Amino acid sequence: MSAMTLHDLLEHSARRRPDHVAVEDPERSVKISYHDLDRLAERVKERLIQAGVRPGDRVGLYGHKSIGTVVSLFGILKAGAAYVPVDPDAPPTRNAFIFQNCAVRAILVETALAGNLRAAFNEQPLSAPTPLHFLTAYGVELELLQTAAAEETNVTEPAEHLAYILYTSGSTGKPKGVIHTHSSALSFVDWCSATFEPTEEDRFSSHAPFHFDLSILDLYVPLKHGATLVLIGEELGKQPLRLAPVIAEERISVWYSTPSILRLLVEYGKMETFDYSALRMVHFAGEVFPVKQLRALKACWPHPRYFNLYGPTETNVCTYYELPSEIPEDRTVPFPIGQTCENDRTKVMDEHDRAVPPGEEGELYVSGGSVMQGYWNLPERTAAAFYRDASDTRWYRTGDIVREGDQGNYLFLGRRDRMVKRRGYRVELGEIEVALYRHPAVTEAAVIALPDEESGVQIKAFLNWTDSTRPSLIRLKQFCVDNLPLYMIPDRFAFLPSLPKTSTDKIDYQELKELD
């Protein structure tokens, strides 16, 4: 099947498997068939068109994960609009900024959250809410709000073929919107289909929140193949003692999440007591997976195939690596981020936009079908994010430093913005974290750099420590001496019961700096 839009995937499966379960919500004990999902999405589409939504418009999506929000998402796409999902647990002022920034025409909002949003939406009044009662049986109660922003003279982005805009943290302190079209999303979805060969009997996890780019695989790959999507709610997804039995009882066959969640499952989920025989594939992305904990996960789940998927929000997934069936006991360094996905091209460049030879480090550039259109209404930021070669091909600068290793597999060395100069040496903070994870008592490690008047920069490590007694500073420093060059040893250490996480389950380095 050749799809032109993301909602084509749903419509095709609804014709082919109308009575098959499309989405399940185990927490609310509700499920919906492909026929009903498609039918209710059509009703949302009609309401949006009645509210003045036109092709190319943006529509906000503000609610906790439920079948109702999945229906709403497809209703937005069917109306020819782009959905703009936000974190329902973020401050309403942040979400109001996002909706105003991309001039949404309407907002589908959870009723319990609507009051705070209306109070935060101070630049443009919102209409009286229109309840969408036909969705209530499938999860949280949603309603439709219209904005007063009919004239959009400040918007410079082309409106054609937009599918969704995902807002990520910006270096200026304001979120920036990453624009993806139906074409860039489908390029990624089609690659997943060819690489992972899903079947209509698969049961995919939906662990990632809808404002996180991991959700694109979750949502569209199973629905393309007529499989079933199992929703993992925001709270359930962070509670390993509850989550571990759900994965087994729901017979999930394809799991996808950040390593942080998988580490929690290994440590606290008591997974040895459950039957995971249905699980055939495990994907992880978003951050480095320490080998020690990856080995522990494979001991709990020995049978699935494991894939490390890499790619910033701007590229979907652009490289991948399948892990070997056995991890050598003496391996301590993380596995590669792998080879380039077949729908993209990559190259490693120096700071002067010159290609570096294999084996030398540089910044990873990506071009191809899965790459974003740009940042919403930030033309200068978009221009700076891309390099154009002599043939006028656009290459996205990922900001990630890599080295091409054996068989064309890239090794991730760190973030360009997490490299600091210390005592004349260049220090990658992520390399210090990798070394700290080698300690048997370290469950989580995060390292930050702080300005210092005397030395220029101080390095501080935050640790989650599992032993009942904490080590002396001397013992901890000695461990670092055995695993790191002297110029990379942290100056200070702090112990926390758990490290703070963002809403997308990555370590929140900004909060660590604020804690300091």
pLDDT beyond 80 at 156: no
Which of 334, 232, 220, 213 lies closest to 26 in space, CA to CA? 232
The residue with greater pLDDT, 435 or 244, is: 244
How far, in Å, CA of 477 to CA of 489, rounded?
7
pLDDT value for 510: 87
Encode 110-139: b = buried (16+ Cβ within 10 Å), e = exposed. Answer: beebbeebbebbeeeebeebeebeebeebb
Q: What is the pLDDT of residues 412-432, one digit of tens each?
A: 988 887 878 776 677 889 889
How far, in Å, CA of 417 to CA of 268, rounded?
33
Under a CB-based contact definition with an 8 Å cutoff, are residues 215 and 208 in contact?
yes
Q: What is the pLDDT of residues 30-73, one digit of tens each?
A: 999 999 999 999 999 999 999 999 999 999 999 999 999 999 99
pLDDT beyond 60 at 155: no
- Domain borders along the chain are 34-180, 235-413, 423-515
How far, in Å, CA of 109 to CA of 129, rounded?
9
pLDDT band at 172 (very low <50, low <70, confident <90, very high): low
How far, in Å, CA of 271 to CA of 266, rounded?
7
Q: What is the pLDDT of residues 189-205, one digit of tens each?
A: 999 999 999 999 999 99
Q: Classify 514 as helix, strand or coil.
A: helix
Encode 366-391: b = buried (16+ Cβ within 10 Å), e = exposed. Answer: bbbbbbbbbbbbbeeebeebbbeeee
Range of lowest pLDDT (91-100, 117-126, 227-236): 117-126
pLDDT beyond 50 at 153: no
Report CA-CA distances (Å) from 513 to 132, 286, 432, 461, 499: 42, 20, 17, 11, 12
Q: Hey, what are 483's tokens?
A: 């695993």
pLDDT beyond 80 at 150: no
Q: For the beta carbon of residue 500, count every other beta carbon within 10 angstroms.
A: 15
Q: If you average pLDDT over residues 152-161, what whole number do you get? A: 57
Report the top-level CATH class of 423-515.
alpha beta
Under a CB-based contact definition with an 8 Å cutoff, are residues 327 and 291 in contact?
yes
Which of 136-140, 354-358, 421-425 reaches the highest mean pLDDT? 354-358
pLDDT beyond 90 at 163: yes
Q: Classify 269 as helix, strand or coil.
A: coil
Q: Classify 121 as helix, strand or coil.
A: coil
Which pairing describes strands 456-465 and 492-495: parallel, antiparallel, or unpaired?
parallel
Range of lowest pLDDT (107-121, 144-158, 224-238): 144-158
Which pairing describes strands 374-375 and 254-257: parallel, antiparallel, or unpaired?
unpaired
How far, in Å, CA of 322 to CA of 341, rounded?
12
Report the amino acid identity of residue 446.
A
How far, in Å, CA of 93 to CA of 509, rounded?
22
How far, in Å, CA of 449 to CA of 325, rounded?
37
Q: What is the pLDDT of residues 444-499, one digit of tens each?
A: 999 998 887 666 788 999 999 888 788 888 889 999 988 888 888 999 999 999 89
Under a CB-based contact definition with an 8 Å cutoff, are residues 185 and 316 in contact?
yes
Report the top-level CATH class of 235-413.
alpha beta
Q: If you average pLDDT over residues 292-303, what whole number do you get? A: 95
How far, in Å, CA of 383 to CA of 305, rounded?
39
pLDDT value for 171: 53
On the question of a common fold for 34-180 and 423-515, the answer reads: no
pLDDT beyond 80 at 374: yes
Does the pTM exceed 0.85?
Answer: yes
Q: What is the pLDDT of residues 211-261, one digit of tens each?
A: 999 999 999 999 999 999 999 999 999 999 999 999 999 999 999 999 999
Q: For the beta carbon of residue 332, count every other beta carbon within 10 angstroms.
A: 14
Does domain 34-180 correspond to CATH entry 3.40.50.720?
no
Under a CB-based contact definition with an 8 Å cutoff, are residues 234 and 64 in contact?
yes
Encode 39-77: b = buried (16+ Cβ within 10 Å), e = exposed. Answer: ebbbebbebbbebebeebbbbbbbbbbbbbbbbbbbbbb
How far, in Å, CA of 463 to CA of 305, rounded?
30
Compute the 3-state secondary structure of the chain and give helix, strand, coil in percent, each to the nearest 5: 35, 30, 40
Which of 159, 177, 152, 143 lies closest to 61 in space, CA to CA? 143
- Tell me the CA end-to-end span of the chain in Å, nearest whole number: 53
pLDDT value for 123: 63
Q: Does the CA dihedral 30-36-38-43 come out positive or negative?
A: negative
pLDDT beyond 50 at 79: yes
pLDDT value for 493: 94
pLDDT value for 452: 76
Under a CB-based contact definition with an 8 Å cutoff, are residues 128 and 111 in contact?
no
